[in-house]
Structure 1
């Protein structure tokens, strides 16, 4: 049993680059798809956000910033030197989406749906667990990108990112 437990981390270390690529591609697919469905039916997306008890006041801003962030993060995931920054951004965005869903499910009498496409067909519980799975994928991606022996240097990447935006 002890060997089986030790093999899992070895597997991740041995296949680190392939796993990171898969995680990045999954996030790119998720974010581009989500942004495209929101933008394709932008008016409905904005109306649904305005119905949310938490987002009513900032629905206009949120309806523009969310798909924009999704597309920017997806783009950054394709650029190796920005990948770690994008993975942190993916993690943060998914945590915010998951927290929003939890708060809406727990405290809101009315649950508006602002998702589009396939995600619209999910129930709120399924959507919550789907998001948790992506939070965990982002966390795994961060650990693999910043772990010992990684070809990525987190501090260097963040420093490069901050210099390029001055």
Structure 2
């Protein structure tokens, strides 16, 4: 008698789920490493732009290092399978902070230069808001798709 092995349908769904989580993580890794590199490669410009923000002026010196370092650390967390969940929560937190900052700029400030580097610096504040909201949604999706810890 011939034996056929079929994989359980939930195993296929688990692979698809993990693949989607991986894609979300890679999107964040690419975003954060690109943004951090752009900020660090033109550090003086980044620090100057932060110092012009009415919200961040007093913290410009610290934030000019803290933001790119946080972006790099979160990218590392997302690369390590044991820390993916923590990395997704950290990405959600950072993107939520960035989004709150953009909302504040749009509502309370005028003509504030964007402190993002590279291609992202060419976006308007409203485009940044849409971009950030999309990444917040990606982080939430990745978190919700994480497998439940086994008891």
What's the TM-score once normalised by structure 1's chain length? 0.80
Counterpart in the other structure of 2:118: 117
Counterpart in the other structure of 2:108: 107
CA positional deviation for 1:112: 1.9
User: 1:15-164 to 2 correspondence within 5 Å?
Assistant: 15-145=16-146, 150=147, 153=149
Deviating beyond 3 angstroms after TM superposition, the runs of 4 or more aligned structure 1 residues are: 11-14
Distance 2:37 2:66 in 1: 13
CA positional deviation for 1:90: 0.2
Q: Is the 8 A contact 1:12 1:19 kept in 2?
A: no
- C-alpha offsets along residues 119-143 of structure 1, whole Å, 9 cap, x if unaligned? 0111111110000000000000000
- C-alpha offsets along residues 107-159 of structure 1, whole Å, 9 cap, x if unaligned? 012312111111011111111000000000000000001xxxx2x639x9xxx
> Gapped runs of 5+ residues in structure 2?
1-11
Distance 1:121 1:27 in 2: 19
Distance 1:40 1:101 in 2: 23
CA positional deviation for 1:13: 6.1
> Gapped runs of 5+ residues in structure 1?
1-10, 157-166
Structural RMSD (CA): 1.8
CA positional deviation for 1:80: 0.6
Counting matched residue pairs gives 140
What's the TM-score once normalised by structure 2's chain length? 0.88
